[in-house]
Amino acid sequence: MKNKLHDMPIYMDYSATTPVDPRVAKKMIPYITEDFGNPASRSHPYGWAAEKAVENARREIALLVNADPKEIVWTSGATESNNLAIKGASNFYSKKGKHIITLATEHKAVIDAVRECERVGYEATFLEPEPNGLLDIEKFKSTIRPDTVLVSVMLVNNEIGVIQDITAIGNICRENNVIFHVDAAQATGKVKIDLEKLPVDLMSFSAHKTYGPKGVGALYVRRKPRIRIEPQIHGGGHERGMRSGTLAPHQIVGMGEAFRIAREEMDEENNRIKNLQTKLLKGLTEIEETYVNGDLEKRVPHNLNISFNYVEGESLIMAIKDIAVSSGSACTSASLEPSYVLRALGRSDELAHSSIRFSIGRFTTESDVEFTIALLKEKIGKLRELSPLWEMYKDGVDLEKVEWAEH
Amino acid sequence: MIYFDNNATTALHPEVLKEMLPFLTSQQGNPASNHTFGRKAHTALEEAREKVAASVNAHPSQVIFTSSGTESNNTIINGIAKAYSNSHFGYSSIEHPCISEPIKSLVSQGYKISEIPVDSNGIFNVSSISDKTKKSLTFLSVMMANNETGVIQNIAEIADWSKKNTIQFHTDAVQALGKIKVDFEALDIDAMTISSHKIYGPQGVAALIVNKKIDIIPYMQGGGQEKGLRSGTENIAAIIGFGKACERSSQNLVEFKENIGRLRLILEKALLAIGAIIFCENSNRLSNTTFFSFKNIDGSTLLTALDRKGFAIASGSACSSNSSEPSHVLLSMGVDLDLAQGALRISLGLESTEGEVNGFIDTLKDEVDRLRQMAAVAA
């Protein structure tokens, strides 16, 4: 059941990155070999071919999210899109005010971009979501101030997979004349996005979370009504001045193809993945003392985040090395800190520490899921056998009331 | 089609492609992930970093991967501006827009800036910096080799002068890498920009080499990749390609010195024979670059004619080739507007052959004759 060919573990970390779809790779390769031109070269066919490919890909991005191709700006990835949106919009509209609202559970790229705004004189509110990971709309409404310039809320959370009510949040932003940015890096190909209807001004996309290559992303910038951003990278004036720098056609072509496949196949694929999720959820919650993190209804089928009580997270990860999973988001998994997302949901340190994110996708099979369930059942059983806390819990000791002796 | 526009971008070298393919086609992790997939990606990333560092004699820890030369240049300029609020930015008048534009954008934030002219040969002299400017200048950026004229600056001398005057010094070495020797440590400078797609590597990846003595506040914040100086999931396949391209670049140096220089000699001899004016002809230039113009011949007409005959050349830098503005490089050297407007650039590459050059010369002669006859008739 392991990937015998490369002797690699089973990949269950699709929210960290997805493999490049073979169809995407095939489409990319001609653009690094024969059609290698610089799309900004206007004097010869090498440049024209590259430019045409870039524009076709731009159309594909727009089609997936029902936008105009002119509203799509290429970037190097969602981190850049988020930084460009947050700094670019808050700078441009700073006359309105210098207050920014975001969620405590946003991706680091949003949180740290907002922190940078704080450093240069903005004020920020980091809203705590409800215990199910969703933002309380009334609570959000009450934090808007006359000087609120920008709101940034992610569509799908990278750690717990919950889907925020972007329409409701966006409508409140519109009523209050506030720019609304949405990080949709984890959403493309998983939830339907219709920017003609959604009250969203700026939206970030990533290729490598949707079976495209790393190193490319996009930012949607609404044209009607027109949203302005102050560019963060200056130079040759590419991307209508919003983002200078030579474009990498092969990567852009890859993102276009990845988004085309997502558009055409997402309905069917999500049904299949939903069945796998149901199976995984059923199998894993047969294990005693498991807690699913985040709302189960308003959630993408690709994600399950579960805390296994009375098991230490690090030793659990070590014990289940035959599957590749993470204990938080990839970007912060090098640190041993418990996930700040789970902490924001009000989970105890212990439960946050014992959480595993299972993220499944296009190439996950039923037998992968069966293997995972069997592996978790076995290893958690063994780890708990060694755990004095588990023993106390089984003996009916209320651990909350135990007074621990000081060392 | 014959490709003579290698300063705009280069074709990927087959050896580079070979190294990249596994990272595009088989399953790859996120280098930040703590499992086998992630660790493999991380190891490959660090190996590539070592190759890039070695190619410019820098320490791997000084290499920050970015998405383009433009991003690298913006990162150093905006990063310095944020970290040192009293900065006074100087730059040469022939810098690429991705240096001059971010610097100009700082004026509205209250920073002092100074554009420093080059001489009529396209050369930057520290003596042209006034004493007054020198006193308050804190940062200077001068490109190692110009993308349009190919003129190579005496960076060692400028760096030395900057150090003596406690001025932070950055050089954009995007066009220099792979064509001349680039030695970060020997130059003893604060920062340098290099890019992959000018050295037969893939587009979409570049680096900023930074001496840790200086602080920069990053443009992109988030997951804390690249030691916090450039967040964002690393573009693994492209970085692997960049590493390989850098490794190969020392081999290219020999090729550039011997073969490409010889081809350009043939080319320029023929150009001069039919009355072309070669800009910065007698300056120390990259051996692949020729920037030239004909009096009384419209450059864009000639460019179109050559394109129809199967030769891809440029009218200036690719980044500004959609505008019909004359080259700012030539204008700042004091070249006449008419002559600057007609300027064409040939940039040879590793794959260029003598046959291609001779074919080009024949075609060019025909076209120039034709255009001159037409002009004579019209007169």
**What would the pLDDT profile of A108-167 be if each residue is shown by its tens digit?**
999 999 999 999 999 999 999 999 999 999 999 999 999 999 999 999 999 999 999 999
pLDDT in tens, A162-178: 999 999 999 999 999 99
Q: Are residues B266 and B238 in the same domain?
A: no
Band of residue B201 on the pLDDT scale cut at 50, 70, 90 = very high
pLDDT in tens, A36-62: 788 877 778 888 888 999 999 999 999
Give which of A41, A152, A154 to mutate to test B binding, by max B Cβ within 10 Å. Answer: A41
Q: Are residues B223 and B293 in the same domain?
A: no
Measured CA to CA, the distance from residue A8 to residue B37 in angstroms comes to: 8
Helix (H) and strand (E) counts in chain A: 13, 12
pLDDT in tens, B248-277: 998 888 888 889 999 999 999 999 999 999
The residue with greater pLDDT, A331 or A84, is A84
Which range has the worst mean pLDDT, A12-26, A269-283, B309-323?
B309-323
Q: Above pLDDT 90, what percent of chain B?
A: 79
Measured CA to CA, the distance from residue B57 to residue B86 in angstroms comes to: 31
pLDDT for res A121:
95
Helix (H) or strand (E) holding A107: none
Give which of B18, B231, B234, B302 to mutate to test A binding, by max A Cβ within 10 Å. Answer: B231
User: If we measure between CA atoms, which residue out of B260, B312, B323, B316 comes closest to residue B291?
Assistant: B316
Give the one of B3, B73, B221 whose C-beta lies nearest to A109's C-beta.
Answer: B221
Mean pLDDT on B84-113: 96
pTM of the model: 0.89
- DSSP of B233-251, one letter per residue? ---HHHHHHHHHHHHHHHH
A330: chain B residues, CB-CB within 8 Å: 30, 32-33, 38, 223, 233
Domain boundary residue, one of B248, B279, B307: B248
Mean pLDDT on A213-228: 96
pLDDT for res A5:
45
- Let me know if B319 is a catalytic residue: yes
Strand-strand pairing, B191-195 and B206-210: antiparallel
Q: In Å, what is the CA distance from B22 to each residue of A18, A29, A85, B232, B347?
A: 15, 12, 33, 21, 31
Average pLDDT along chain A = 92
**Which B residues, 202 through 241, put their C-beta within 8 Å of a C-beta on chain A?**
202-205, 217, 219-225, 231-238
Residue B223's CATH number: 3.40.640.10
Q: Is B27 on the interface with A (CB under 8 A)?
A: yes
Q: Are residues B80 and B183 in the same domain?
A: yes
The C-alpha of A84 sits at a distance from chain B's nearest C-alpha, in angstroms, of 8
Domain housing B92? 14-248
Which range has the worst mean pLDDT, A68-82, B85-99, B323-337?
B323-337
A279 near A366, Cβ under 8 Å? yes
Domains in chain B, number: 2
B17: chain A residues, CB-CB within 8 Å: 29, 32-33
The residue with greater pLDDT, A277 or A386, is A277
Average pLDDT along chain B = 93
pLDDT in tens, B281-308: 999 999 999 999 999 888 888 998 999 9
Domain boundary residue, one of B217, B248, B279: B248
Q: Are residues B71 and B156 in the same domain?
A: yes
Q: Above pLDDT 70, what percent of chain A?
A: 95
Contact A38 B203 (CB under 8 A): yes
Contact A40 B8 (CB under 8 A): yes
**Which A residues, 69 through 108, put their C-beta within 8 Å of a C-beta on chain B?**
75-80, 82-83, 107-108
Residue B334's CATH number: 3.90.1150.10
pLDDT for res A99:
98
Beta-carbon contacts of residue A7 (< 8 Å; ≥ 6 apart)? none
A42: chain B residues, CB-CB within 8 Å: 321-322
Structure tokens at B148: 């349009």
Q: Are residues B167 and B286 in the same domain?
A: no
Q: Are residues B54 and B146 in the same domain?
A: yes
Q: Are residues B240 and B304 in the same domain?
A: no
pLDDT for res A388:
86
The C-alpha of B295 sits at a distance from chain A's nearest C-alpha, in angstroms, of 21
pLDDT for res B32:
85
Backbone Cα Rg of chain B: 21
**Which A residues, 108 through 127, put their C-beta within 8 Å of a C-beta on chain B?**
108-110, 112-113, 115-116, 120
Give which of B40, B68, B193, B301 to mutate to test A binding, by max A Cβ within 10 Å. Answer: B68
Measured CA to CA, the distance from residue A181 to residue A233 in angstroms comes to: 19
**A64 Rama sector, left if φ>0, alpha if ψ -120 to 50, beta otherwise:** alpha
Q: Is A249 on the interface with B (CB under 8 A)?
A: yes
pLDDT for res A235:
84
Give the one of A46, A112, A116 whose C-beta lies nearest to B312's C-beta.
Answer: A46
Measured CA to CA, the distance from residue B178 to residue B251 in angstroms comes to: 8
Measured CA to CA, the distance from residue A320 to residue A305 in angstroms comes to: 15
Burial B215-239 (b: 16+ CB within 10 A, else e): ebbbbbbbbbbbeebbbbbbbbbbb
From the number of C-beta atoms within 10 Å of its C-beta (0-12, 13-18, 19+), residue A366 rates as exposed
Q: Are residues B151 and B26 in the same domain?
A: yes
**Which B residues, 297 through 326, put their C-beta within 8 Å of a C-beta on chain A?**
303, 307, 311-315, 317-322
A300 near A186, Cβ under 8 Å? yes
Contact B235 A250 (CB under 8 A): no
Q: Are residues B284 and B229 in the same domain?
A: no
Mean pLDDT on B152-163: 97
pLDDT for res A331:
45
Structure tokens at A315: 């030793």
Q: Are residues B108 and B216 in the same domain?
A: yes
Contact A79 B102 (CB under 8 A): no
A9: chain B residues, CB-CB within 8 Å: 35-37
A112: chain B residues, CB-CB within 8 Å: 221-222, 224, 231
Q: In Å, what is the CA distance from A237 to each residue of A180, A241, B3, B149, B180?
A: 25, 4, 25, 21, 28
Band of residue A7 on the pLDDT scale cut at 50, 70, 90 = confident
Q: Is the dihedral of CA A18, A343, A371, A161 positive or negative?
A: negative
Give the one of B78, B222, B317 whose C-beta lies nearest to A331's C-beta.
Answer: B222
pLDDT for res A407:
58
Measured CA to CA, the distance from residue B135 to residue B156 in angstroms comes to: 21
Structure tokens at A294: 């985040």
B121 near B318, Cβ under 8 Å? no
Contact B204 A13 (CB under 8 A): no
pLDDT for res A335:
53
Q: Are residues B181 and B222 in the same domain?
A: yes
B113 near B104, Cβ under 8 Å? yes
The residue with greater pLDDT, B237 or B25, is B237
Q: Are residues B59 and B190 in the same domain?
A: yes
pLDDT in tens, B221-243: 888 898 888 999 999 999 999 99
Contact A45 B29 (CB under 8 A): no
Domain boundary residue, one of B229, B248, B267: B248
Nearest Cα residue in chain A from B27: A19
Mean pLDDT on A1-19: 77
Contact B203 A22 (CB under 8 A): no
Partnered with residue B56 across adjacent β-strands are none
From the number of C-beta atoms within 10 Å of its C-beta (0-12, 13-18, 19+), residue A289 rates as middle
